[in-house]
Amino acid sequence: MTVFEVVDETRRHAELRDRIREILHTVAPHAADTTGLPLPAQVRYRLLTPKAWREETRLNTQHILARDIADLDLTPPEIKATRAVIKVAGVGPTLVWPLVLGSTQRAADGQRETIITPKALRHAGLLADDPALHQMVAHELVHHLQAEARSGAVWKTFFPGKRDLGNIPRESFTLVLEGHATWADRQVTRHLFGTPADHRLARKSWRYQLHRSIPGIHHLGPDPEAYERGAALIERLMESHGTHGINRIWKDASLLPTTKEIADPDAWGHRLNQDHGPHTVPTVS
């Protein structure tokens, strides 16, 4: 049985905390049935102030680098250069926080968690749109299911080549992870409300619209186009192959789509359903 922990670290949103916990209990069985993935033993959601959310987001990049340093044979220049990149990228959370409905990542204690700032939900209109709130909770929960299915396999790294992920297109990770979660959250909310929820239709604040209009903001935060492309890719695969094929990728990242397979989902589906041994990503994509 899954334990759902929702913590209000703002100390101002007890009602939202309780509502998210209720929603988790509602959407969890549907998310598991829809994806064919088991629920983890524990799921944690944290409600944070924007300042705390930005700090946790920055710390997460430090944790990713620390894991790379521990796991990989990195040179001092590689580490120094990566730290410089992280420092420059530190401005990102300040610009994108009103646009991020939730972010699921590994915490300092090693547990997977979803961090949310209620102010971002207000700016995005979700506090006045209950189906959209269900959609967000379900979407992030699917990320917990994905991570559980990967059984500790590392996909987030500053050195993909050193983790045998170098031949996989960068966009493949986003398209599959976010597309799969988007496809699933629509299936879950369709089951609950009769039609898929769409948080994009919720009324946005002026601040949300201001941040969304920043040139190149999709490079720093959520990219709606990538989510839609990914959802269409996953839906096409599900229609023809079901959950079995897509769920093989969580154990074998080499099964992520190549650039050509992103444009040709049927070719990707054919490769996913081939029954053979260890896989290698085609070097020509």
How much of the chain exceeds pLDDT 70, in percent? 96
Question: For residue 279, is pLDDT > 50?
Answer: no
For residue 241, what pLDDT is reported? 85
Paired with 104 in beta bridges are 114
Q: DSSP 3-state assignment of 215?
A: coil
Q: Do 13 and 170 contact (CB within 8 A), yes or no? A: no
For residue 199, what pLDDT is reported? 97
Four-residue CA torsion sign, 93, 94, 98, 99: negative
For residue 284, what pLDDT is reported? 35
Rounded Cα gap, residues 106 and 111, in angstroms: 6
Query: What's 203's DSSP letter?
Result: P
For residue 278, what pLDDT is reported? 43
Question: For residue 275, is pLDDT > 60?
Answer: no
Rounded Cα gap, residues 66 and 57, in angstroms: 15
Which domains does the chain carry?
3-272 (1.10.390)
Question: For residue 280, is pLDDT > 70?
Answer: no
Determine the average pLDDT of the residues in 242-251. 92
Task: Please give the residue that has the higher pLDDT: either 36 or 279.
Answer: 36
Please, what is the average pLDDT of the chain?
A: 94
CA 179 to mean position of chain CA atoms: 9
For residue 240, what pLDDT is reported? 85
For residue 282, what pLDDT is reported? 45
The model's pLDDT over 99-120, given as tens digits with 9 standing for 90+, comes to 999 999 999 898 999 999 999 9
Rounded Cα gap, residues 9 and 116, in angstroms: 10
How many Cα atoms sit within 13 Å of 250 on the Cβ side? 22
Which of 122-131, 149-158, 240-249 is the most confident on average? 122-131
Determine the average pLDDT of the residues in 221-230. 93
Question: For residue 247, is pLDDT > 50?
Answer: yes
For residue 30, what pLDDT is reported? 98
